[in-house]
Amino acid sequence: MTTELMRCDNCAKMNRVPTAASGLPRCGSCHVALAWIAAANDDTYDDVVATSAIPVLVDLWAPWCGPCRSVSPVLEKLAHQFAGRVKLVKIDVDQSPAASRRFEVQGIPTLLVLERGEVLARQVGAAGEQALRAWLEQALPTAAASDSSENREAPSDNLREH
């Protein structure tokens, strides 16, 4: 099985993270969810993407694509910010013709949010960090979202006694 080294954002310990796992990778030291970043191609697609326990942010890219290279560090940053909620999987389209056909990729980068193989959202072309964070936040299922209700409603008028 392939593993990648990932530093824990919480305690800075280095962890070995498998590219495919049935559960969620957690830090061996402090047990918080680790950012999960993996690569896949047509051979490993089923293991790495299709069977993922959490939604997958797929980055369909190629090494010769300039906009892909600019969006790549943004996606990695988001993988850390959304650790435990999304798995980032990079797919090199040149090595993955079947995946390119499956998602009818017309241009790259093409970004997809998948949940159990179902496309929840699609973004074609590079975008800035803010835009991509908002896009991802909206695409991800909200069930597990933390309850930090900061609804800024106007304060209600005090009831007055007459």
Residues in touch with Zn ion (CB under 5 A): 8, 10-11, 13, 27, 29-30
Residues marked as catalytic: 65, 68
> Using an 8 Å Cβ cutoff, are 109 and 64 in contact?
no
Long-range contacts of 22-31 (CB under 8 A, 24+ apart): 22/51, 22/53, 23/53, 24/53, 24/54, 24/84
We find the least distance from the C-beta atom of residue 37 to Zn ion, in angstroms, to be: 16
* Minimum CB–partner distance for residue 80 and Zn ion (Å): 13
Specify the residue, 17 or 27, whose C-beta has the smaller distance to Zn ion: 27
Q: Return phi, psi of residue 37, to 5°.
A: -130, 125
Q: Closest separation between CB of residue 26 and Zn ion, Å?
A: 8
Shorter beta-carbon distance to Zn ion: residue 83 or 88: 83
Q: Nearest distance from residue 11's CB to Zn ion, in Å?
A: 3
Q: Closest CB to Zn ion among 10 and 41?
A: 10
How far apart (Å, rounded) are the C-alpha atoms in residues 123 and 73?
A: 16
**φ/ψ (deg, to 5) at 77:** -60, -45
Of 26 and 122, nearer to Zn ion (C-beta) is 26
**Residue 32's CB: how many other CB atoms inside 10 A?**
13
